[in-house]
Amino acid sequence: MSEHTYQADTVERAEASPETEQPYEALGVKDDEYARIREILGRRPTSSELAMYSVMWSEHCSYKSSKVHLRQFGERAPEVDFLLVGPGENAGVVDVGEDLAVTFKIESHNHPSYVEPYQGAATGVGGIVRDILTMGARPIAVLDPLRFGPADAADTHRVLPGVVRGIGGYGNSLGLPNIGGEVVFDACYSGNPLVNALSVGVLKKSEIKLAKADGPGNHVVLFGARTGGDGIGGASVLASATFDADKPSKRPSVQVGDPFMEKVLIECCLEIYAEDLVTGIQDLGAAGLSCATTELAAAGTGGMDVKLDLAPLRDATLVPEEILMSESQERMMAVVTPENLPRFFEICEKWDVISTVIGTVTDTGRLRMTWHGETIVDVDPRTLAHQGPVYERPYHRPDWQDALQADAPDAARLARPAGGEQLRATVLRMVASPNLADKTWVLEQYDHRVRGNTVLAHGEDSGMIRLSEESGLGIALSTDGNGRYTKLDPYTGAQLALAEAYRNVAATGATPLAVTDCLNFGSPEDPEVMWQFAEACRGLTDACQILGTPVTGGNVSFYNQTGSEAIHPTPVVGVLGVIDDVARRTRSAFETEGEVLLLVGETLDEFGGSEWAHVVHEHLGGLPPKLDLERERQLGEILVAGSRDGMLSAAHDLSDGGLIQALAESCMRGGKGARVVLPGELDPFVELFSESAGRAVVAVPRSEEKRFTDMCVFRNVPVARIGVVDGDTLEVQGQFEIPLAELREAWTGTFPKLFG
Amino acid sequence: MPARIGVVTFPGTQDDADALRAVRVAGAEPVSLWHRDADLHGVDAIVLPGGFSYGDYLRCGAIARFSPVMESVIAAAHEGMPVLGICNGFQVLCESHLLPGALIRNDGMLFVNRDVRLTVEAADTAWTGGYKAGQEIVIPIKNGEGKFTADERTLDELEATGRVVARYLDNPNGSARAIAGVANAAGNVVGLMPHPEHAIDELTGPYPGPATDGLPFFTSVLQRLIDSELVNA
Amino acid sequence: MARVVVDVMLKPEILDPQGQAVNRALPRLGFDGVVDVRQGKRFEVELEGPADEAALARVREMAERLLANTVIEEYRVRVEA
Amino acid sequence: MARVVVDVMLKPEILDPQGQAVNRALPRLGFDGVVDVRQGKRFEVELEGPADEAALARVREMAERLLANTVIEEYRVRVEA
Ligand SMILES: Nc1ncnc2c1ncn2[C@@H]1O[C@H](COP(=O)(O)OP(=O)(O)O)[C@@H](O)[C@H]1O
Ligand SMILES: [Mg+2]
């Protein structure tokens, strides 16, 4: 079918045929939403307009269920002076000093990664990197927090290898170091893996770009890949339902990424930015051209005229509704003045990037689109971008929450290992369990070195990137989240995710500054899920206030469920930190024999949602560890000050698996053993495996022990000497001893056995 | 006049910034070369850096090999200019027939990023004069198609003529005879799968070290240029 | 012994970045008159026994489960002369 | 418009890691009776004009220079029915 025989649904036709039935339900538009669209327009929408409203008012783009809860991130944000761009733009921007700013954001690509793991994950990386690029920044790193079903499940073996190859395949080809992330297994993610991706970029403070179409007469340029039929299942319904005559050819169900195209697009954009050739820019992500045109227009002078038939196509049979909804990857839209256009085109030509003027900025307040001369869209862009439906979804605390919290994993309920032999066996079992085991099999598939500024990456508490070779200025990033904790108590669970990421950043010597979050939840139409969501948002907001780290942006992923079974609520939190000189970074490895090991923080008997209860008893119940955010802040300051004053040789935060897991990791990483004497009166099992928050283990030279301990005491943070770095075994005196080689075999064997 | 060392950027090249930095750290003047520009801008030596030129589509290095700059690089290489191809650069050199053999998919099928131990076997090439023959070094690899392959006759010839530049101690990808790098007969053109430009400073090099074993590739060529009086010390 | 060939190509509606890259390179090498190039995979499967219907059915299953990713690829099984 | 197919396979003397990986996976998936698998590439080249001798000669040159690396690969050009 050629485009010329396609009879577009024009505004004129829409006015003349108010009674035409439109398949809005198939596009996910509710009755009342459709009625509102008709009211806004004063007529029925054209099929192209309906396509646009349906995607722009979708949960994914309009945040209609989450908006009322997300607001508090901005409204109750801590007062800070470093936030240059807050929530609402493509990504937040933070002032990191020396004229530099950093932008970072996390996003999810969960559902596509289940359907086609490689392409789903790959395009997830591609999408978030374009958000960073859109802010005017050079993307400089990615992180990939992942969640899968049980490690031995057949479907995990389909999904995980593909996801990992996809993230590596795309990220490596972009030349972006992968400096962190997570790999977590839990039965709740069977059939619904979580593939979140975070990207970070750097730019000059003065060069932030915004997504707005200003200046009537300026050109609207579409550049990058051609538009294909990717991700337009819905639009095809529309096109064929309205015009069943010439059905368009088959449309792909999955988006395929072209990382090479994205790489040249990045370099092309950076050259364009360097010459200051755009007045506004927007990436094409979800909702493609619909989103880019409406958001640019709505944020700018207010109007835009677009000749949709000028968009370069990969598939000539695409109809306007499909072009508007296509989610083809690797595309950008810029607003360019007539003077700058020739140079803009020159740079695109240099990078072999196709660029096409498809429209003009106007001051009409209307977004108008034509298709071969006929008007098919005529709307107020703000009604699409900002005036979507907002739902106050009902929510209530689940009936089962009390029973779940009452089912505490105390000693009477779950048998605990006692005595050296049993503890020893438990240590070996725990380090080999999939969530705690060595992830080298995954991490080796990622390039963490490219660009030559990676100071810390995999195996460290946070990834760290040098921004300036002259001064040593750098940033650190960590992502964390614990679905089990959050299931037990969504408010505290979200806070614990933040606290852990915060602690990880501080442990490497960087000062935590700001937050991005990816909120992975079940269906918002389920009031119990909605309660989890509301609690998590409230918890995160409260915690950010105390820690002084504002949320700068993030993403919500709803409908993560198989049938009616929702995943554990899983807020994944990314924390960005800054360090004035990366040369003073703290590693987690124990490197020097004779150094003193100190445990900072307080250990309680806390096993609700713990890794031990999960691995050994497949138990989930009770309450997550208590959180003292003031204490957490003090610990952060201690870790940063310890690094700044040169007291610390190593630091490692305590989280999943508790003290013994942290010790084991630091020993194996540095190739040195440790002799440990447990300090407290607690049961050794509790000392070793409890997951109490607000703790870290550090190694200090003997000469620094007093100074460091004094610093902790001064801040009222408990500190205890627990041993020394020594030999080639991990020994807990009076309990057991494990040669490093044996420990390493258990720890490193799991992934190759499962996936190798 | 200081030594000027060019680093070529193809579309999809990733490690050009790293190679430029390594050249600078070694004490030479780094010069960016663009694939569409046949002019070598008076450089004294050339690095073809790592990455995914043209997305590594078709075959790694296959499309880059036809860039205008490669016409000049091939001509200069034939006249004796030192040329180092790292990873994707090595693949480009093989595709250009400046070096024998080819690089195909790793035995394990996966992309592997790992610090590997190598022995420098040939210390008489333009890029390895600063090493001792047999010296063991640690340098990262990161590739999916890094398995060196050639027919037996070619392999025998490479061995017999001392053109195996570096060999893996723990062959990570099934490379024929554990070969990690080779040279042309004249010794001015070297191809290497591992990345010496990622092992030039304590902060970012392999951990736990040695972290700077890659630097001599860059200082060696500088020394060679000085010795041959092409440039001033 | 018989040889069965399995051709695996991306479905026509799926973006083929590799084919595109070749496509763009051809004119630069002076090859005109090519409208499109698509790149796929070719598997040569050597069977122990004859390539009878049962064997072909097995190869088809192999293609379905392992050789092709049917979410984005299609395949064809044939006996090579 | 005519379609010409170029099959590119590694030369028999070159070990084929991809084919080997498939080979190893087959028994694990319960497929027996396969002696060997080799994996190569298939290019579908759409020509503007007819696939006459001149066109085929051009495609052969394309294969020789670009589509195959003749150091390790061999190719075959044919018109697909
Ligand atoms: N969980 C969240 N926390 C904070 N901000 C959020 C969250 N989810 C979405 N946002 C913000 O809402 C805005 C719209 O998000 P989104 O539509 O995902 O942006 P984009 O289309 O650019 O990816 C962004 O500024 C994003 O940062
Ligand atoms: Mg965006």
- Domains of chain B are 4-228 (3.40.50.880)
Q: What's the pLDDT score for residue A5?
A: 58
- Does ligand 1 have an atom closer than 6 angstroms to the CB of A556? yes
Assign residue A12 the CATH number of its domain: 3.90.650.10
- CA B155 to chain A, closest CA, distance in angstroms equals 29
A40 touching B, CB under 8 A? no
Give the pLDDT band (50/70/90) at residue C58: very high
Q: What's the pLDDT score for residue A3?
A: 44
Number of domains in chain A: 2
Q: Is A337 in the same domain as A246? A: yes
- Does ligand 1 have an atom closer than 6 angstroms to the CB of A86? no
Give the pLDDT band (50/70/90) at residue A248: very low
Q: Is A629 in the same domain as A742? A: yes
The tens digit of pLDDT for each residue in B41-70 reads 999 999 999 999 999 999 999 999 999 999
Phi, psi angle pair for D48, to nearest 5°: -65, -45
Q: Is A263 in the same domain as A300? A: yes
Is B58 in Cβ contact with C25 (below 8 Å)? yes
Q: What's the pLDDT score for residue A178?
A: 98
Annotated binding-site positions of A: 63, 105, 107-111, 130-131, 255, 283, 327-329, 517, 554-555, 557
CA–CA distance, A459 with A448 (Å, rounded to integer)? 11
A-C CB pairs within 8 A amount to 41
User: Is the pLDDT reported for residue A347 higher than 90?
Assistant: yes
Q: What's the pLDDT score for residue A6?
A: 72
The amino acid present at B161, given as its one-letter code, is: T
Q: What is the average pLDDT across D59-79?
A: 96
Q: What is the average pLDDT across A153-162?
A: 96
Chain C residues close to D9, C-beta within 8 Å: 42, 44
CA–CA distance, A330 with A226 (Å, rounded to integer)? 9
Average pLDDT of the residues of chain A: 94
A227 touching C, CB under 8 A? no
Is B55 in Cβ contact with C25 (below 8 Å)? no
Cβ(B56)–Cβ(C21) under 8 Å? Answer: no
The tens digit of pLDDT for each residue in D4-52 reads 999 999 999 898 999 999 999 999 889 999 999 999 999 999 999 999 9
Is B107 in Cβ contact with D69 (below 8 Å)? no
In a domain, A568, yes or no: yes
Give the pLDDT band (50/70/90) at residue C81: low
Q: Going from the N-terminus, what domains does chain D have, and what CATH number goes with each?
A: 2-80 (3.30.1280.10)
Q: Which ligand is nearest to the CA of A134?
A: 2
- Does ligand 1 have an atom closer than 6 angstroms to the CB of A285? yes
Q: What's the pLDDT score for residue B35?
A: 97
Give the pLDDT band (50/70/90) at residue A681: confident
Q: Is A571 in the same domain as A612? A: yes
C41 touching D, CB under 8 A? yes
CA–CA distance, B95 with B62 (Å, rounded to integer)? 6
Question: What is the best residue among A93, A479, A555, A572 to mutate for testing ligand 1's pocket, by most ligand atoms within 8 Å of CB?
Answer: A555
Report which of A555, A527, A216 is spatially closest to residue A363, judged by C-alpha positions: A216
In this structure, the dihedral spanned by the alpha carbons of residues A637, A643, A649 and A654, taken in order and rounded to 10 degrees, is 30
Report which of A90, A277, A279, A117 is spatially closest to residue A193, judged by C-alpha positions: A117
Percent residues over pLDDT 90 in chain A: 90
Cβ(A498)–Cβ(A591) under 8 Å? Answer: no
Cα(A554) to centroid(ligand 1), Å: 5
Q: What's the pLDDT score for residue A235?
A: 52
Count H helices and E strands in chain A, helices first: 26, 28
Q: Is A595 in the same domain as A742? A: yes
Which residue's alpha carbon is nearest to atom 22 within ligand 1? A90
For residue A448, give the nearest of B13, B52, B113 by CB distance: B113
A-B CB pairs within 8 A amount to 93
- CA C6 to chain A, closest CA, distance in angstroms equals 22
What is the chain A residue with the closest CA to C25?
Answer: A352
In a domain, A415, yes or no: yes
- In the three-class reduction of DSSP (H, G, I as helix; E, B as strand; rest coil), residue B137 is classed as strand
In a domain, A599, yes or no: yes
What's this model's pTM, rounded to 2 decimal places? 0.95
Sheet strands (E) in A136-189: 138-148, 178-185
Q: Is A531 in the same domain as A613? A: yes
What's the per-residue H, E or C state across A695-754? Answer: CEEEEECHHHHHHHHHHHHHCCCCEEEEEEECCCEEEECCCEEEEHHHHHHHHHHHHHHH
Buried b (16+ CB within 10 A) or exposed e, A663-699: bbbbbbbbebbbbbebbeeebbbbbbbbbbbbbbbbb
Is A466 in Cβ contact with B140 (below 8 Å)? no
- Residue A679, both tokens: 């300090």
The tens digit of pLDDT for each residue in C32-49 reads 999 999 999 999 999 999
User: Is the pLDDT reported for residue A471 higher than 90?
Assistant: yes
Q: What's the pLDDT score for residue A574?
A: 98
Cα(D52) to centroid(ligand 1), Å: 57
Q: What's the pLDDT score for residue A553?
A: 95
Q: What's the pLDDT score for residue A675?
A: 98
User: Is the pLDDT reported for residue A670 higher than 50?
Assistant: yes
Q: Is A608 in the same domain as A582? A: yes
Is C24 in Cβ contact with A115 (below 8 Å)? no
User: Is the pLDDT reported for residue A737 higher than 50?
Assistant: yes
- In the three-class reduction of DSSP (H, G, I as helix; E, B as strand; rest coil), residue B48 is classed as strand
Cα(A577) to centroid(ligand 1), Å: 20
Q: What's the pLDDT score for residue A233?
A: 59
Q: Is A344 in the same domain as A452? A: no
CA–CA distance, A219 with A240 (Å, rounded to integer)? 33
- Residue B40, both tokens: 């070598």
The amino acid present at A448, given as its one-letter code, is: H
What is this model's ipTM? 0.92
- Does ligand 1 have an atom closer than 6 angstroms to the CB of A519? yes
Q: Is A356 in the same domain as A423? A: no
Is D71 in Cβ contact with B102 (below 8 Å)? yes
User: Is the pLDDT reported for residue B233 higher than 60?
Assistant: no
Q: Is A502 in the same domain as A632? A: yes
Q: Which ligand is nearest to the CA of A93?
A: 1
User: Is the pLDDT reported for residue A237 higher than 60?
Assistant: no
The tens digit of pLDDT for each residue in A364-421 reads 999 999 999 999 999 999 999 999 999 999 999 999 999 999 999 999 999 999 999 9
The amino acid present at A445, given as its one-letter code, is: Q
The tens digit of pLDDT for each residue in A80-138 reads 999 999 888 889 999 999 999 999 999 999 999 999 999 999 999 999 999 999 999 99
- Does ligand 1 have an atom closer than 6 angstroms to the CB of A90? yes
Which residue's alpha carbon is nearest to atom 10 within ligand 1? A554
Q: Is A692 in the same domain as A729? A: yes
CA–CA distance, A636 with C80 (Å, rounded to integer)? 68
Chain D interface test: which of B57, B91, B94, B105 (most D C-beta within 10 Å) = B105
Average pLDDT of the residues of chain B: 96
Give the pLDDT band (50/70/90) at residue B232: low
- Does ligand 1 have an atom closer than 6 angstroms to the CB of A551? yes
Domain hosting residue A303, numbered range: 3-65+210-385
A to D contact (≥3 Cβ pairs closer than 8 Å): no
> What amino acid positions of B are annotated as catalytic residues?
87, 195, 197
In a domain, A159, yes or no: no
User: Is the pLDDT reported for residue A243 higher than 60?
Assistant: no
In a domain, A135, yes or no: no
Is A250 in Cβ contact with C17 (below 8 Å)? no
Cβ(C17)–Cβ(A260) under 8 Å? Answer: yes
Taking CA atoms, D59 is separated from A110, A386, B56, C10, C26, in Å, by 43, 54, 22, 21, 11
Chain D residues close to B57, C-beta within 8 Å: none
Q: Is A351 in the same domain as A437? A: no
Ligand 1 atom closest to the CA of A555, numbered from 1: 8
Percent residues over pLDDT 70 in chain B: 98
Which residue's alpha carbon is nearest to atom 14 within ligand 1? A88
Is C71 in Cβ contact with A116 (below 8 Å)? yes
